[in-house]
Amino acid sequence: GAVVSQHPSRVICKSGTSVKIECRSLDFQATTMFWYRQFPKKSLMLMATSNEGSKATYEQGVEKDKFLINHASLTLSTLTVTSAHPEDSSFYICSADRDNTGELFFGEGSRLTVL
């Protein structure tokens, strides 16, 4: 089946620093990717839609200057958490839509801890 890979799987950083998370589609091209955030024991919350070659579309309440998204190629989207603070600590998961069929495949997730 389709494979989506995220890196890093875990990251610990100091408050005030920026962290970049990569999401790659390994065996298909993805014009659209999605970024989700999950708090402990909660459901997944959609943060933004990443579109190859154009600006990301952010969900209401998500700060676009805090969570920078870049989708520079058909196989790579990146999420940069800028000037991270402890409240940004969370599990971030990306997903990719294979060939615009609507079926999404998810990466392994990246657990961010901000000290």
Partner 1 sequence: GIQVEQSPPDLILQEGANSTLRCNFSDSVNNLQWFHQNPWGQLINLFYIPSGTKQNGRLSATTVATERYSLLYISSSQTTDSGVYFCAVDGGATNKLIFGTGTLLAVQP
Q: Pick the stretch among 17-25, 44-52, 62-70, 76-84 that binds partner 1 (CB under 8 A).
A: 44-52
Closer CB to partner 1, 82 or 108, in the complex: 108
Residue 108 touches partner 1, criterion: CB under 8 A: yes
Per-position x/- string for 75-94, each x denoting binding to partner 1 as judged by CB under 8 A, each - no binding: ----------------x-x-
Transcribe the chain into DSSP letters.
---EEEE-SEEEE-TT--EEEEEEESSS--SEEEEEEE-TTS-EEEEEEEETTS--EEPTT--TTTEEEEEEETTEEEEEE-S--GGG-EEEEEEEEGGGSS-EEE---EEEEE-
Chain contacts with partner 1 (rule: CB under 8 A): 1, 32, 34, 36, 38, 43-46, 49, 91, 93, 95, 97, 100, 102-106, 108-109, 111
